Amino acid sequence: MKINSIKGMHDLFSFQTQNWKQIENLLHNFFEIHGYGEIRTPMIEKAELFNRVIGDETDIVNKEMYSWKDQGGDILALRPELTAPSVRSYIEHNMDKLNKVTKLYYLGPAFRRERPQKGRQRQFYQYGIEAIGSEHPEQDAEVISMAYNIFNMLGVENLELVINSVGSKETKKKYSTILKEYLSSHIGDLSDISRERYSKNPLRILDSKSKEEQSIIKEAPSILESLNDYEKKHFDQVQRFLDKLNIPYTIDHRLVRGLDYYTLTTFEIRTQSIGSQDALCGGGRYNNLIEQLGGKPVPAIGFAAGMERLMMALNLDKQTKASKIDVFIISAGDDAITNSLKICDTLRNQLGIKVMMDFTRGSFKSQMRQANKLNAEYAIILGEEEIKRKVGVIKTMSSGDQFEVPLDTIHKHFDVERVKDDQ
Ligand code: HAM
């Protein structure tokens, strides 16, 4: 019986990896020019890290995390996101001693056992950044504008940036009481999930997608009214900086996000063009997290975005025509095969030309079909007759024009630099 991949986890084929590599290169360059350095952390961490960072009562930890006891008795987990590992590494390796502000970026797989659907996988790739060390709103503006500019630069349409401030831990606590008070008169109209959240994590009710609950949530008191003077000023300044950078945004006081670690600024970027899973990216401040994990009290902010959703938004997830190869070598007979191997080697390693040859020992016709299918620009034909005469035939596939050249100098016809010099 054949074995298929796990539900919600997908193979990426070369027509996709080609596009992915291009976007990845662009992202590496983008982050580097902003002064962020790449961090690569393990795929597996102690489960406790995520319990403590993301929160025991969040869906991500409670329902979706892949975790298990290993042979040594440790409880491990596949990372559901990359902020917690980045922060763990920051504390473990005393990065605060190196720079006042540590700027990290990452790109790699994350795992959540969610219900798979379009734009939602159980293994997905995240790229993102963490700026650790500054509490000031200009840092928020840099992070948010970077998240936005990537999509804008790549031409993603219908971008919608939503921002909010959830204040400090104390403000969140104060607001929770106000929210619960408001919701107490609507408790009968809430869904089972929201009722459960009412006692454990009431802010998450604001995130509910249920249509029936929307009218209740719409009328809920705004967390922005619970902010203290410092928090208000901080949020005002974030907005002022974004205005100056010409980054369009809307404020939504219900944007609390699904991870517990956020303080002050939260934000999300969405686009209607990718279906119901419309969040391209999410992020925010987490000023208490590092201290909570045993580090010094260092403020931080970051974001992460899903690669698959970005590729969908760019329409780069569809099957496209095979990319061109420069040369395909068609051969018949042992001597011709030996020569094919040698010519491949020379063209690839001396001239950097993309060349392939036949490995099926198929008929001339079937090899020609392969050359066409691979979109070859030229074919080199080495039949027994040609080998006897120590020549090869170069055929231009588009026009069908062909000519003979001496076998031992055949590679020179593909040496663009030399041809240019000769002219
Ligand atoms: P998040 O909102 O959970 O935030 O995830 C960030 C992005 O990852 C989402 O906006 C979405 O594009 C993508 N994503 C999440 N889950 C899936 C999934 N199942 N399938 C496909 N894509 C998905 C975080 O992970 C935080 N660590 C972000 C952050 C960084 N906050 C501060 N620093």
Q: Supply the residue whose CA is at minimum distance from atom 13 of ligand 1.
A: 306
Residue to substitute in 63, 124, 140, 264 for testing ligand 1 pocket (most ligand atoms within 8 angstroms of CB): 124
Q: How remote is the CA of residue 30 from the centroid of ligand 1, in Å?
A: 19
What's the CA-to-centroid distance between 306 and ligand 1, angstroms? 6
Which residues line ligand 1 at a C-beta cut-off of 6 Å?
81, 83, 112, 114, 120-121, 124, 126, 128, 130, 259, 279-284, 302-306, 308-309
How far, in Å, from the CA of 60 to the mean position of ligand 1? Answer: 10
347, 412, 408: which is closest to 382 by C-alpha?
A: 408
CA–CA separation, 234 vs 19, rounded Å?
39
**Residue 225 vs residues 144, 173, 178, 222, 228: alpha-carbon distances, Å:** 23, 13, 11, 6, 8
Which residue has the CA at smallest separation from atom 2 of ligand 1? 282
Which residue in 102, 105, 80 sits closest to 29, CA to CA?
Answer: 105
Q: How far is the CA of 263 from the centre of ligand 1 (A)?
A: 17
Can you tell me the distance from the alpha carbon of 220 to that of 223, in angstroms, rounded to the nearest whole number? 9
Gap from CA of 246 to ligand 1 centroid (Å): 25
Q: Where are the alpha helices (DSSP H) in 5-136?
A: 14-33, 47-54, 59-62, 83-92
Q: Is the pTM of this model over 0.95?
A: no
Burial 78-107 (b: 16+ CB within 10 A, else e): bbbbbbbbbbbbbbeeebbeeeeebbbbbb
Per DSSP (E only), the strands in 112-204 are 123-132, 159-165
The closest of 219, 211, 209 to 186, measured between CA atoms, is: 219
Distance 27 CA to ligand 1 centre (A): 17
The number of C-alpha atoms within 13 Å of 382 and in the hemisphere containing its C-beta is 28
Among 60, 81, 144, 263, residue to substitute to test ligand 1 (most atoms within 8 Å of Cβ)? 81
Task: Decide: residue 238, CB within 10 A, 0-12 exposed, 13-18 middle, 19+ buried.
Answer: buried
Distance CA 381, CA 404 (A): 9
Contact yes or no for 146/131 (Cβ under 8 A): no
Which residue's alpha carbon is nearest to atom 18 within ligand 1? Answer: 120
H/E stretch holding 203 = none
Q: From first to last of its 423 residues, what are the pLDDT tens digits of the chain? A: 999 999 999 999 988 999 999 999 999 999 999 999 999 999 999 999 999 988 888 889 989 999 999 999 999 999 999 999 999 999 999 999 999 999 999 999 999 999 999 999 999 999 999 999 999 999 999 999 999 999 999 999 999 999 999 999 999 999 999 999 999 999 888 888 899 889 888 998 998 878 888 889 989 999 999 999 999 999 999 999 999 999 999 999 999 887 889 999 999 999 998 998 899 999 999 999 999 999 999 999 999 999 999 999 999 888 776 678 999 999 999 999 999 999 999 999 999 999 999 999 999 999 999 999 999 999 999 999 999 999 999 999 999 999 999 999 999 999 865 555 555
Nearest CA to ligand 1 atom 22: 306
Partner residues linked to 325 by β-bridges: 376
Ligand 1 atom closest to the Cα of residue 305 is 7
The alpha carbon of 116 and the centre of ligand 1 are apart by a number of angstroms equal to 15
Tell me which residue has its CA closest to atom 23 in ligand 1.
Answer: 306
